[in-house]
Amino acid sequence: MATSILWQIRAIAATDLRLRLRRPATLWLILILSGLAYLFIRDPDTGTGLMVVDGARALYTSQVVAISTAGLAAFLLTFAGFYLTSNTLRRDLLARTGAIIAATPVSSGTYLVGKFLGGSAYLGLVTGAYLLNVMAMHLLRGEGPLEPLTYVVTYLLALGPAIVVVAALALCFECIPLLSGRLGDVAYFFVWTVLVAVGAIAEGRGAGRFLDVMGIGFIMAEVHTVANAQNIAIGVTPFDPRVAPWVLPPISLTLGTLLPRLTTALFAVPLLLVARLFFHRFDPARVRSGSQTAGGDLIRRVSGLIKPLTRIVSGVGARLVTAAPGALRPVLAETVMTLCQAPLVLLAWLGVLTTTLVAKAETVTHAVPMALSAILAIALADLSTRDRAAGVQAMLFSMPRLKPDYARIKLGAAALLALLFVLPPALRIAVHAPGAALSLLIAAGFMAALASALGFLTRTPKAFMGVFLLFLYLVLNGAQLPALDFAGWNGVATGSTRLGYLLMTLLLAGVAEGKHRWDLGREG
């Protein structure tokens, strides 16, 4: 019996891993990680170091490179890791293998454990690929011998709990109907910010070190133990060349070091139990449809209440589509359909419109664009991927001109939808801050192009959600940086900022179009 369960877990985890590794996205990810390893471990002659303590550069020993790169990877791994692994049940639904799995003797618990291990193994392998790149960079820039064991132990301690907890969180979110769609993707962004905050606040001390999923507190504590410094910076940081470099001794493997990390990793267990509680086991009466709309009874009920409004939009939209010139017709039809099939987006639009009309000018300039970014992230995410997921793309391609113009139509619809949202606040902002209004209009185009480009590249809305939410985090935390003020809400955007985002928008639009043409070329 136990052997049979182990065999089942092995089959599920191995297949899950195999399917993930065969996605082109994995190759991209490994290439990005290689680039990051190169960027992080810079030549000290450039005046920047990987770890700087009170102005002194830490020598590039195996321990310093390992702990610093693990700390930097923790941010990406815990963030992108969720979006990379939170599609395992959905894959079985889309592949229409769920019912067959449900009819096998595999228990729901065994299935979820297998899926969890598959997700953990994938994140572990990605981390392993990153680690290999880091060690290769050590050979290039290291200032001490390469000690593979030091690297492996440090990565296991720093990132091991993050890998298993994020894999469990992804599975848990997928099992809970309300969190299994784009709403969950946005919700995870807030969970992630809490994880960052908890790690940073705890700094590896007290009870907080048991909650340090990201390992930031653990890393800071390890450095503090030997450095007792005021300022510790990890990442590409300028150092004072007059201060002598210092050496970080190896991590001491005591019970006090191991126990908190092990305890943190065990958070995966209650998360898996919650997942088991909500798992639908592909029961058609419980499973949500393959669409990527946010789920839950409450949302369904609210959507039901707004239905009369969508009927009006649908009616008016149908007339507009008929009256529109030929090239604009499919763009308009796509936009109307987006609004009608997601009544909550329509409700959000009404909310934005009302707030724009009644709120103070300052709120409209700063808070409304912020809220708009989150709303548009949800509204735009699946616009370029939903046809394929619903299996209607081939049918659409049989319509005149739709196949060659598909990317342009999707991009146009995304831009029009974004414009619908940003135009009212932009008009009001333009009265007192025309620059900010222009930024907002460019931001609408930028978001539409980013959603389209990533949608065409990865064929999943998750990539856009992940990338854009991470970008949003940087924007919120870099309020003083003009380069990050993409929508003008921080009030520091310059003409160059606007020009930069406009050029990026054009580039991303080109990527979407190019990828579509490439796909068509491959089809022959």
Partner 1 sequence: MLKLDQVTKRFRGGVTAVADLSLELGAGVVGLLGPNGAGKTTLMQLIATITRPTRGQIHFQGIDVLREPETLRRQLGYLPQDFGVYDNLTAFEFLSYFGGLKGITKRGRIEELLELVNLHTVAHRPAATFSGGMRQRLGIAQALLNDPALLIVDEPTAGLDPEERVRFRHLLSDLGTGKLILLSTHIVSDIESLAGTIAIMRQGRLVTCAVPEDLLRGARGQVWEGVVSSAEYEQIRGRLKVTRAVRQADGVHARAVSPVQPFATAMAVEPDLEDAFVRLMQAGT
Question: Given the rule CB under 8 A, which of 5-13, 169-177, 187-195, 232-240 is the region that contacts partner 1?
Answer: 5-13
Q: Are 72 and 40 in contact (CB under 8 A)?
A: yes
Query: What is the distance between the alpha carbons of residues 425 and 469, in angstroms, rounded to a whole number?
Result: 22
Q: Considering beta carbons, is residue 17 or 442 the nearer one to partner 1?
A: 17
Interface residue with partner 1, options 46, 104, 230, 398 (CB under 8 A): 104
Q: What part of residues 8-67 is at the interface with partner 1 (CB under 8 A)?
A: 8, 10-12, 14-15, 18-19, 22-23
Based on the shown chain and the rule CB under 8 A, indicate whether residue 2 belongs to the binding site for partner 1.
no
Q: Considering beta carbons, is residue 109 or 208 the nearer one to partner 1?
A: 109
Amino acid letter for position 353: L
Q: Considering beta carbons, is residue 21 or 506 the nearer one to partner 1?
A: 21
Q: Is the dihedral of CA 67, 68, 69, 74 positive or negative?
A: positive
Rounded to a whole number of angstroms, the minimum distance from the CB of residue 394 to partner 1 is 13
Q: Considering beta carbons, is residue 13 or 415 the nearer one to partner 1?
A: 13
Q: Encode 416-433: b = buried (16+ Cβ within 10 Å), e = exposed.
A: bbbebbbbbbbebbeeeb
Question: Given the rule CB under 8 A, which of 34-42, 99-107, 129-137, 144-152 is the region that contacts partner 1?
Answer: 99-107
Tokens 């999943």 locate to 460
Q: Which residues does 67 contact at the CB level (< 8 Å), separation at least 6? A: 51, 154, 158, 219, 222, 223, 234, 248, 251
Query: What is the distance between the alpha carbons of residues 335 and 337, in angstroms, rounded to a whole number?
Result: 5
Q: Considering beta carbons, is residue 43 or 519 the nearer one to partner 1?
A: 519
First to last CA, the chain: 50
Q: Considering beta carbons, is residue 104 or 398 the nearer one to partner 1?
A: 104
Q: Considering beta carbons, is residue 100 or 258 the nearer one to partner 1?
A: 100
Based on the shown chain and the rule CB under 8 A, indicate whether residue 519 belongs to the binding site for partner 1.
no
Query: Beta strands of 239-294 (E only): which ranges?
Result: none
Interface residue with partner 1, options 39, 100, 194, 399 (CB under 8 A): 100
Interface residue with partner 1, options 32, 107, 316, 494 (CB under 8 A): 107
Q: Are 50 and 69 in contact (CB under 8 A)?
A: yes
Tokens 């088991």 locate to 276
Query: What is the distance between the alpha carbons of residues 82 and 174, in angstroms, rounded to a whole number?
Result: 11
Query: What is the distance between the alpha carbons of residues 213 and 195, in angstroms, rounded to a whole number?
Result: 7
Based on the shown chain and the rule CB under 8 A, indicate whether residue 522 belongs to the binding site for partner 1.
no
Query: What is the distance between the alpha carbons of residues 221 and 202, in angstroms, rounded to a whole number?
Result: 9
Question: Given the rule CB under 8 A, which of 70-78, 100-108, 324-332, 407-415 is the region that contacts partner 1?
Answer: 100-108
DSSP codes joined into one string, 9-25: HHHHHHHHHHHHHTSHH
Based on the shown chain and the rule CB under 8 A, indicate whether residue 97 belongs to the binding site for partner 1.
yes
Amino acid letter for position 366: H
Based on the shown chain and the rule CB under 8 A, indicate whether residue 117 belongs to the binding site for partner 1.
no
The pattern of x and - marking residues 277 through 306 that bind partner 1 according to CB under 8 A reads -----xxxx---------------------
Rounded to a whole number of angstroms, the minimum distance from the CB of residue 409 to partner 1 is 26
Q: Considering beta carbons, is residue 94 or 423 the nearer one to partner 1?
A: 94
Query: What is the distance between the alpha carbons of residues 394 and 112, in angstroms, rounded to a whole number?
Result: 33
The pattern of x and - marking residues 392 through 431 that bind partner 1 according to CB under 8 A reads ----------------------------------------
Q: Is the dihedral of CA 307, 313, 319, 325 positive or negative?
A: negative
Tokens 């070190």 locate to 209
Based on the shown chain and the rule CB under 8 A, indicate whether residue 102 belongs to the binding site for partner 1.
yes
Rounded to a whole number of angstroms, the minimum distance from the CB of residue 304 to partner 1 is 11
Based on the shown chain and the rule CB under 8 A, indicate whether residue 105 belongs to the binding site for partner 1.
yes
The token duo for 333 is 């039809």
Based on the shown chain and the rule CB under 8 A, indicate whether residue 206 belongs to the binding site for partner 1.
no
Rounded to a whole number of angstroms, the minimum distance from the CB of residue 110 to partner 1 is 9
Based on the shown chain and the rule CB under 8 A, indicate whether residue 130 belongs to the binding site for partner 1.
no
DSSP codes joined into one string, 69-83: HHHHHHHHHHHHHHH
**How many Cβ atoms sit within 10 Å of the Cβ of residue 397?**
14
Tokens 């490994």 locate to 30
Interface residue with partner 1, options 101, 201, 392, 394 (CB under 8 A): 101
Based on the shown chain and the rule CB under 8 A, indicate whether residue 7 belongs to the binding site for partner 1.
yes
- Total residues in contact with partner 1, by rule CB under 8 A: 30
Query: Beta strands of 212-336 (E only): which ranges?
Result: 232-238
Based on the shown chain and the rule CB under 8 A, indicate whether residue 125 belongs to the binding site for partner 1.
no
Q: Considering beta carbons, is residue 118 or 181 the nearer one to partner 1?
A: 118
Sites of contact with partner 1 (CB under 8 A): 4, 7-8, 10-12, 14-15, 18-19, 22-23, 91, 94-97, 99-107, 282-285
